[in-house]
Structure 1
Amino acid sequence: MDRCGSYLETMRSNAPLVQCITNFVAMNTVANVLLAAGASPAMVHDAEESGEFAGIAQAVTINMGTPSPRWLEGMEAAAQGAMAAGRPWVLDPVAVGATAFRRDIGARLLALKPGVIRGNASEILALAGAAARGKGADSADSVSEAEEAALRLAQSSGAVVAVTGPMDFVTDGKRGFRCANGHALMPKVTALGCSLTGVVGAFVAGQPPLEATAAALAFFGLAGEEAARGAEGPGSFQVAFLDALHRLSPEDLDRGARLEAA
């Protein structure tokens, strides 16, 4: 993809306000990651204000990691508010196949037309109605096994679908990209996947969703590669990762993005 770094440059220039409905474990990490990347996070989830706030934000991200009936009300209100305001919203269907409650939440949120869906292979398979082998929030399926399901889900939902793993796959149902950026230490830090959803939201605010999502995946993965160079383990990696997100330039992303057409 030509000029991958231009999407980072535009995102930072706009510094979009991203409304993040995410789980208890992830809130602090997601907020710090978005700030380091160049966006402005707002952790607004309650139904009393989430729909109204979605009209203020430039993008909304909804992560169903620690759901409850009250949080579901806030998720639905935010998605509806985003749609009414013409704002993109991103769905992160965490462990969507694990329980009947989560399957119902996934179906209800999918019906509200997310612009982007970002999940691991097992989550995308489950959301698409295919057999999946997820272990809680972890994937037991490979990205390649989920590619056909991702294509079908993108075609049926109208969303860009990103399947993340060692080799990411993102598609709008017609075109797609594979992204090879990333590092093995990234899954060792909790909430980095949730944080990626926030970064995708920041990139797609006002930008073409397929290309912007692919650029976000490359940016996030490249930051992981850079952070791992001096890290001794997950603890030092987490700190170095925030620094790398802040430090990476559009030119760095142009040079380091490992994206190819799928």
Structure 2
Amino acid sequence: MSFNDILTPLRAQNPLVQCITNYVAMNIAANVVLAAGASPAMLHAVEEIEDFTPICGALTINIGTLDGAWAASMMAAAKTANASDVPWVLDPVAHFVSAYRKGVAQDLLVQRPTILRGNASEILALAGEAGSGKGADSGDSVDAAKGAAEALARDYGATVAVTGPVDFVTDGTQSAEVTGGSALMPQITALGCSQTALMGAYAAAGPAFDAALGALAHFKAAGNVAASQATGPGSFQVHFLDALASVGPDDLAQTVLG
């Protein structure tokens, strides 16, 4: 099965995806997962993790609006996912902006996520290299973060996805790039965070490298369609959700450079 073919079993299985994400992203992330063909659950109470995480097809963790209670839930969910063979995705949003956030991100990384997704500045900093990110926005190019992504993949046994105008994904031995999308995409708040949730849906239906590549391609393909119909950020969001539901495996394949 190739990366784009994962979309077919994803839609057939409608996997349950636990999304521990930030307040800003909850609505758009849930809608993105639903439009793509999976079932989101925005559950983060630590008291429910032991019962809920094992029944999910995948777990996604986004540290965007971090606090102590959520950090405890994230760690409990990551450990439970590992113990239950549930694939999970880590999105270390702006982990370099404070010592506390950096510590939480590093603690989660040690749990060895199935997929690590971030922008170039986040990936560089997570690998211990200097970056120029500003908050959740990247100040570095995807090309500059390729080496860091490959090192993180080898060190933690993860597939690493670096997102930007041209996405890069690697598992330390193989890599690919994904092109397309729209310049309007960064103008939709938390759209990148919702991609993390979509990666969880793909990880529930296929192997890690192909899942990350498929989710990246799905976003780019839907962005291509929405860009041809939208007149601004507001209409783009509506068309983008529609396109997530309408694009097929062949559309995804056209975005990957190899």
Fold equivalence (TM over 0.5) = yes
Aligned pairs (5 A) from 1:1-262:
3-254=2-253, 257-261=254-258
Aligned AA for 1:260?
Answer: L
Deviation at 1:193, TM superposition (A): 0.4
Cα distance in structure 2, aligned partners of 1:184 and 1:198: 21
Q: CA separation in 2, counterparts of 1:155 and 1:185? A: 34
Tell me, which stretches of 5 or more residues in structure 2 are unaligned? Answer: none
TM-score for the superposition, normalised by structure 1: 0.96
The separation in 2 between residues aligned to 1:184 and 1:206, in whole angstroms, is 29
SS of the aligned residue for 1:170 comes to: strand
Distance in 2 of aligned mates of 1:132 and 1:50: 34
Q: 1:160-203: CA deviations, max 9, x gaps? A: 00000001000001111111121111101001101100111100
- What CA RMSD, in Å, does the superposition of the two structures yield over aligned residues? 1.1
Instruction: Quote the offset at 1:4 in angstroms.
Output: 4.2
Distance in 1 between residues matched to 2:184 and 2:218, nearest whole Å: 16
Partner-residue secondary structure (3-state), 1:260: coil
The number of residues matched between the two structures is 258
Q: Which amino acid aligns with 2:170?
A: T
Render the CA deviation track for 1:218-257: whole Å, top value 9, x for unaligned.
Answer: 1111101101111110000011111111111223334xx2
In the alignment, the residues of structure 2 paired with residue 251 and residue 16 of structure 1 have an alpha-carbon distance, to the nearest angstrom, of 22
Aligned counterparts of 1:115 and 1:3: Cα–Cα separation in 2? 18
Could you list the runs of 4 or more consecutive aligned residues of structure 1 that deviate by over 6 angstroms after TM superposition?
none
- Looking at structure 1, the residues matched to 247 and 168 of structure 2 have their Cα atoms a distance apart, in angstroms, of 23
Distance (whole Å) between structure 2 residues aligned to residue 65 and residue 59 of structure 1: 19
When normalised by structure 2's length, the TM-score is 0.97
Taking the aligned partners of 2:171 and 2:52, their CA distance within structure 1 comes to: 28
Could you tell me which amino acid in structure 1 is paired with residue 204 of structure 2? Answer: A
Decide whether the 8 Å contact of 1:162 with 1:169 is kept in 2: yes
Q: Deviations over 1:91-114 (max 9, x none)?
A: 001001111111101111001110
Checking the alignment, whether the CA contact within 8 Å between 1:51 and 1:80 is kept in structure 2 is no
Secondary structure of 2:257 counterpart: strand
Distance 1:103 1:121 in 2: 16
The 1-side partners of 2:45 and 2:230 are apart by: 37
Gaps of 5+ in 1: none
2:177 & 2:251 partners in 1: Cα distance?
19
Do the aligned residues in 1 keep the contact of 2:34 with 2:40 (CA within 8 Å)? Answer: yes
